Amino acid sequence: MKNELIKYLNDNVDVKYIQNEEDIEISILSTISDECLISTLGNIFAIENKAVENKEELYIKLSLRELNTKQLITAFKFVLNQNTINDSLMILNILNLIKSNTLEESFFEDRNVYFKSLVEYLDVKLEIKDELKEFVKKFSFYFYSMIKSCGKPIANGKDTIIKLPDVYYNIFVSLDFMTLSRIAATCDDVNLADCGYISCARELVYNSLKDYFIGNTMLNMFLEGLDNADNCE
């Protein structure tokens, strides 16, 4: 997949890249049109996803830092509607948008952050508020499905089997339980009765609790709260 990616990048005049020993750094340039921006993101994601499916090592550092505010808005309106995202920097920047952060200007000096200033960050967040709201709603649905599934070794006949999309899986393995639950709590538009069964739920939940000494107690309290909510419906 690395050769396919390099060939694609060589044919694309609106990107620059550096091939390192361990990874490939890609920057999308501000000369790109909106149509080509969406196409370029889609193609890079597709190559990354194919590498994941084939279990090939392909480490990409994708940067949108050279884009202007309008282009970032276009990019995130597209990205937040994609289920198969395995790019680590893109996941990081999605997290920066959905987490409740107190951000200092120094935060935006990090080259891994796509936003160059607090003003730009807030401008983008305002323009994509509908996409963010829908993304967090789906996040919350998958989070509560994951919690309700982790107590079941297998699905029963009444359960709806849910395949957890890559973008949400990658977020769940990146955050601790408390952060995940805080994000989910920002959405009050999820019907718990609609939640289904996720086969990898137990692995994900216990991974998110691994740094907590009282992890099992926290999980049991959370499950008890969900059971009470179900009984109230």
Cβ atoms of residues 84 and 166 within 8 Å: yes
Mean pLDDT value across the chain: 87
What CA–CA distance (Å, rounded) separates 60 from 144? 31
**pLDDT by residue (tens digit) across 177-202?**
889 989 998 988 888 888 889 988 88
Whole-model pTM: value is 0.86
Q: What is the CA radius of gyration of the chain?
A: 19
Which of 163, 5, 137, 147 lies closest to 81, judged by CA?
137
CB atoms inside a 10 Å sphere around CB 180: 21
Which of 69, 87, 76, 61 lies closest to 30, judged by CA?
69
**pLDDT by residue (tens digit) across 111-138?**
999 999 999 999 999 999 999 999 999 9
**Judging by beta carbons within 10 Å of its beta carbon (0-12, 13-18, 19+), is residue 23 exposed, middle or buried?**
middle
- For the chain, give every domain's residue range: 2-127, 132-232
